[in-house]
Structure 1
Amino acid sequence: MPYRWLPSPSPNEAELRLWPHESLPPRGYAAFLLATFTLATIPLYTVLGTVLLWGLLPFLLLALGGLWYALDRNHRDCQLLEVLRLTPETVSLTRHNPNGPDQNWACNAYWTRPHLHADGGPVPNYVTLTGCGREVEIGAFLSEDERMALFQDLSRQLPPARR
């Protein structure tokens, strides 16, 4: 699961870290680009030494550059991190965005409630936290099953008197 409850120094406190799943590790990234380059150059071997090679080569390099840019952009966008801290007094959520300022939300723990929106959200099984007059999303980048498990974990972490 791309989220984990961290051990806390106190039994009444908890910290949850959530991050997007990244299916292509750095070695796989390099191997994929090398394999794509190798397979894309195979048709060029038949036109070596001709003017046609110079007509096709820029398009091959442009396609590889576009692929590299898309994979690199995806990697940068996956550098997102959400940190949820639960204490007896407060619940705080911090979202560390890859290309922007951090977003923070805090509320009195007594009034904080998790909600599961099975329908009507931007994604199925959309999980939000409500409190202090605001509703904030948590883990929208997780898969549908992972959001269900997250909701169940949050429901267990917040005592029934708070919900």
Structure 2
Amino acid sequence: MKLNVLIIAIFLMASSCEGKKKTAEVLKVDNDELVKKEIATTDFELEVYDYDGFSAFLEKKDNKVYVINFWATWCAPCVKELPYFEKLNAAYKNESVEVILVSLDFPHLYDKKLKPFIKEKKLISKVVALDDVDMNTWIPKVDKDWSGSIPATIIYKNDNSKFYEQSFTYEELEKELKQFLN
């Protein structure tokens, strides 16, 4: 019994130290074998920024390629293309590429809709929420030609950037990324 409690404690400590908070569910099987199953929880801290705080994500000059996608859970084309951003993140994680998913969901829905969505879809890319009601001020700061519609994406490396007000297939997204990988 003490060994089972120790194993459970070790699993819980190990899982809580990972980047996205996880909890461990330990199941006891008939033959006294223990099985661990990790499950994402909705009790993680969602990073929420106003535009001034968020703008730092658009200004990094560290020779890394940033793929920043503006989306929302209520936007069907956004949700449809999220797996492509996740696939891109996984495929290029060792090539100085960082994918950042910027949720434009309504703040009152973060706990009820956004966090459960992140859990359900098992999003690995960094997800932040942009909570700045003055869209007429910050949208043109992101890109002077942006109408404000989503999905929208910026890909940049240092001072070289390109803005896309469109949906992507994985092939289209990867093609655009490769222009920045020199």
Do both proteins adopt the same fold according to a TM-score greater than 0.5, normalized to the shorter chain? no
* Structure possessing the higher relative contact order (Cα contacts under 8 Å, 6 or more residues apart): 2
Report the TM-score, using the length of structure 1 for normalisation: 0.27
Report the TM-score, using the length of structure 2 for normalisation: 0.25
Structure number with bigger Rg: 1
